[in-house]
Amino acid sequence: MTQATPASKKKRFWTMERKQSAAGWCFLTPAALLIVIFSFWPMIQAFLTSLKRGLPTRLTYCEPLWRNYERMLSDKVFIQSVTNTFTYLIIQVPIMLVLAIIFASLLNNKDLKFRGLFRTCIFLPCATGLVAYSMIFRTLFTYDGMVNAVLLGSGILSEPINWLNEPFYAKVVIIIGLIWRWTGYNMVFFLSGMQGIEYSIYEAARIDGANQFQQLTKITIPLLRPIILVTSIMSINGTLQLFDESVNLTRGGPANMTITMSHYIYNTMFTKNPNFGYAAAMSFVILIMVAVLSAIQMKVGDKR
């Protein structure tokens, strides 16, 4: 009986499967280390900070440790910020996604002329700077701005609306701004998904007598389910972390009636009396909200 040589043992050890696995780990390890260092480690540090109180240079652990989390239950501004954020989420996200699907469906028609121009026009708001478009919206919706002038001139209003100084109308301005800016962004995702749907399916549906609405609800939406799931998760996560519109459009006013959670965290951490521990606790609450809502959406949306 012949004994296996060391060379043959080494050759058997480095099978093709193990070589592929080792190559995969070589590519994944640097990225995994960067994610751990710049994402998970800061999360751990933020959680530890959320259990502390005091000046930023002299933080000490709270007694009891959950004191910052307990404080949120009685913080009226935080509760108002949560209410405002979920108001934007419940109203803006569905409208934006529905409009994005409708625009994508219309612009997916190969017989439509100037499709490229229309796609560019709808996507352009997404390329606009957040501060720039917020300043433009503030100018448009001032008491003597263009919006009031157009509504008064057309007879829709009898007197101008103080858009930015009344809580209801200030929220409306933020919702309009979000829809205007992000509809085109989501439209691109839906449009790319529709490019993968065979055009012959729509032609067969038209021959069978299906109208545009039936094609959208019976063909397009079911086939776009994975993309709808991804865009809805991204939109909800983005809205829960909404910051720029609250800061630049309404300054969180009037009387904190439009302030968002991220805006309140910023104020708590960097303005007036900085409180890193309490701000970190609120940030962790947002993380939990995002994780829970994403898990629910994945469970409901993934039919596998």
Give the closest residue to 80 by CA, choosing from 282, 300, 304, 294: 282
Higher-pLDDT residue of 236 and 302 is: 236
Domain check: are 25 and 171 in the same one?
no
pLDDT of residue 9 exceeding 70: no
Give the closest residue to 169 by CA, choosing from 235, 79, 244, 257: 257
> What is the percent of the chain with per-residue pLDDT over 90, rounded to a whole number?
32
Domain check: are 29 and 97 in the same one?
no
Higher-pLDDT residue of 55 and 144 is: 144
pLDDT of residue 209 exceeding 90: no
pLDDT of residue 3 exceeding 60: no
Domain check: are 178 and 266 in the same one?
yes
Domain check: are 144 and 274 in the same one?
yes
> For 224, what's the count of Cα atoms within 13 Å in the CB-facing half-sphere?
27
HEC string for the chain: CCCCCHHHHHHHHCCHHHHHHHHHHHHHHHHHHHHHHHHHHHHHHHHHHCCEECCCCCCEECCCCCHHHHHHCCCHHHHHHHHHHHHHHHHHHHHHHHHHHHHHHHHCCCCCCCHHHHHHHHHHHHHCCHHHHHHHHHHHCCCCCHHHHHHHHCCCCCCCCCCCCCHHHHHHHHHHHHHHHHHHHHHHHHHHHHHCCCHHHHHHHHHCCCCHHHHHHHHHHHHCHHHHHHHHHHHHHHHHCCCHHHHHHHCCCCCCCCCCHHHHHHHHHHCCCCCHHHHHHHHHHHHHHHHHHHHHHHHHHCCC
User: Across residues 284-289, what is the average pLDDT?
Assistant: 88
Query: pLDDT tens digit string along 60-97?
Result: 888 888 899 999 988 999 999 999 999 999 999 999 99
User: Which range has the worst mean pLDDT, 54-58, 159-163, 221-225?
Assistant: 54-58
User: Across residues 286-297, what is the average pLDDT?
Assistant: 86
Domain check: are 113 and 218 in the same one?
yes
pLDDT of residue 1 exceeding 80: no
Query: pLDDT tens digit string along 121-158?
Result: 998 888 888 888 888 898 999 888 899 999 999 988 88
Segments forming the whole domain that contains residue 176: 75-301
Domain check: are 32 and 153 in the same one?
no
**Predicted local distance difference test score (pLDDT) of residue 109:** 79
Question: How many domains would you assign to the chain?
Answer: 2
Average pLDDT across the chain, whole number:
87
62 lies in a domain?
Answer: no
Query: pLDDT tens digit string along 186-197?
Result: 999 999 888 888
Domain check: are 21 and 141 in the same one?
no
